[in-house]
Structure 1
Amino acid sequence: MNKKWILGLGLGVGGLLVVGGGLVATGYWADRQMDGAGVAALMQSQDRARKIAELNARYPFQPPATGKVLKLEEARLEAYLAAREATLPAYAVLQEETLEFVREHGNALSSGSRRAQLRAAGASLRMMGKAQASLLLNLEAQRMSPQEFGRLTAVVYPEPVAAPDAGVPNVSQASDPANIALLEEQLAAISPRLEDPKLGEAERLQLEQRRAGLRKYITQLELASGKDVKDANAALLKKHAARIAKAANPTFDTLLTKPLNPGGTAGLPTP
């Protein structure tokens, strides 16, 4: 029995309790199987949804344009880390409660009992709800919206990029780092040729124009790729590397950060 599986059960419980925006007979039956905790947990989740919307409205965050890199600001990075660090104790409680639930109800869950699954779903909502509520309180203390927290998470703790399928050609832009590197190699190859004393004036002028053109083009591509922003972000992340490493936890983000944003339940564990 996997504790992530238990936590994942909470994702679908809303569908058992709410149909067409209201409670139905199935919902009442499911609630009874959860010892009367299902409806209460669902109501609490709706309260948290309202809190998320309230914080997003109170502390509006303007994300960068599509394709652009988010530039980190040190004050906001420190606020982000403070909110994250303050929530880690609540996440530790979530882990311990989950393990305790598995120890107590693992055999019943392994049997495939529908009642056991529903009880686990209710417990999942309750346990994750407490940790999510703690995160929202800590975000409010830092005057930060869930939207900003999510976007900062993507920069501070980026997810691994999947390798392309074999046989599928890569589609690159001119501003991709590999293309810029090739242009820089071409630029570097020009200087030795200009030092040749046998070089004719016409050819020298042509090479100097070529070098100037390459320098200008590379600068334009670097600006388009956000290299200046990425370099500044890298320096800031390095400065706070110790705090960032200490607060790193992919499961924390899967269970608490992603669900705060629209479509954020993707990637959560499934039974």
Structure 2
Amino acid sequence: MNKKWILGLGLGAGGLLLVGGGLVATGYWADRAMGGGVETLMNTQERAQKVAELNARHPFQAPAAGKVLRLDEARLAAYLAAREATLPAYEVLQKETLEYVQAHGSELNSGSRSAILKAAGASLRMVGKAQSVLLRNLEAQGMSPVEFRSLTTVVYPPPEAPPAAGAAMASQASDPSDPANLAQLEAQLAAITPQLEDPKLTEAERLQLEQRRAGLRKYITQMELASGKDVKDANAALLKKHAERIAKAANPTFDDLLTRPLDAAGTAGLPTP
């Protein structure tokens, strides 16, 4: 039985109770089984309302699918400030979770339905306190949860799964903006310069090479823009500038438990016990 499972249990159980019939249907049973479950779930609804309010008050347009978000240094600073200010609340959450596991671990390991529901209620309350702190810090920075999550995907991108060999080959063959294809075109462009220095070239041959060089330069520029290379390069420079601060605030579990569940469309999935 691990700490992350206890934390995730509350998020998953809370979502099931809310979606499965709402507060009226769970009513007195939920309140007893989860140790004050109705109040806890009402607090969850209040946080969801706060998320909606912040998103409306500070609208943010995330980039279209496949496009890269261009980082702005001022917004990156606001993002990191909100994250840093929330980390102490996350540390309290970790401490409370460890204490709960130590106190109730044997009951939870027994698989008791009552113990699991009480853990779900406790988890919702513990996670909820930290999420409330994050929402207050976002409000202080004039930032919506949508912007916070979008920035998280750029500052702390999830690890990418390696593609299958066949898929990788197909991607290279079909995607002209693939780095390998860009490298080939840049090599072709570089090869034209020494050819133009050949004194034996006729005017027609020189004109043909110059036209080809101009065409390659234009095509490479278009491909780089389509691939977002300019945005990626600018982002990389900004992330490098603030690398020490970003590293100190890095915490994947923080994002799993506090950032991802702020999406009003659903709740985090249950981690594996």
**Alignment TM-score, normalising by the size of structure 1:** 0.92
Q: How many angstroms apart in 2 are the aligned matches of 1:20 and 1:229? A: 45
**Which residue number in structure 2 is paired with residue 23 of structure 1?**
24
1:180 aligned to 167, 179, 182, which one? 182
**Which residue number in structure 1 is paired with residue 77 of structure 2?**
78
- Residues 83-126 of structure 1 deviation map (CA, whole Å, 9 limit, x = unaligned): 00000000000111111111111111111111111111111101
Would the alpha carbon gap of residues 18 and 27 (structure 1) be closer, same or farther in structure 2, given more than 3 Å must change?
farther
SS in 2 for 1:68: coil
**Which residue number in structure 1 is paired with residue 248 of structure 2?**
246
Would the alpha carbon gap of residues 189 and 267 (structure 1) be closer, same or farther in structure 2, given more than 3 Å must change?
farther
Unaligned runs of 5+ in 1: none
**Which residue number in structure 2 is paired with residue 133 of structure 1?**
132
Would the alpha carbon gap of residues 268 and 135 (structure 1) be closer, same or farther in structure 2, given more than 3 Å must change?
farther
Count of residue correspondences: 269
Pairwise CA distance, 1:27: 4.8
Q: How many angstroms apart in 1 are the aligned matches of 2:270 and 2:81? A: 25
Identical pairs, percent: 76
Would the alpha carbon gap of residues 193 and 92 (structure 1) be closer, same or farther in structure 2, given more than 3 Å must change?
same
**Alignment TM-score, normalising by the size of structure 2:** 0.91
The worse-fitting range, judged by mean Cα deviation, of 229-238 and 119-128 is: 229-238
CA RMSD of aligned residues (A): 1.9
SS in 2 for 1:181: helix
Would the alpha carbon gap of residues 38 and 170 (structure 1) be closer, same or farther in structure 2, given more than 3 Å must change?
farther
SS in 1 for 2:149: helix
- Residues 204-262 of structure 1 deviation map (CA, whole Å, 9 limit, x = unaligned): 32222111110011011111222221111111111111110100111101111111125
**Which residue number in structure 2 is paired with residue 165 of structure 1?**
164
Larger relative contact order (Cα-Cα within 8 Å, sequence gap ≥ 6): 2
Unaligned runs of 5+ in 2: none
| Contact 1:31–1:39, Cα closer than 8 Å, also in 2 | yes
**Which residue number in structure 1 is paired with residue 234 of structure 2?**
232
**Which residue number in structure 2 is paired with residue 218 of structure 1?**
220
**Which residue number in structure 2 is paired with residue 120 of structure 1?**
119
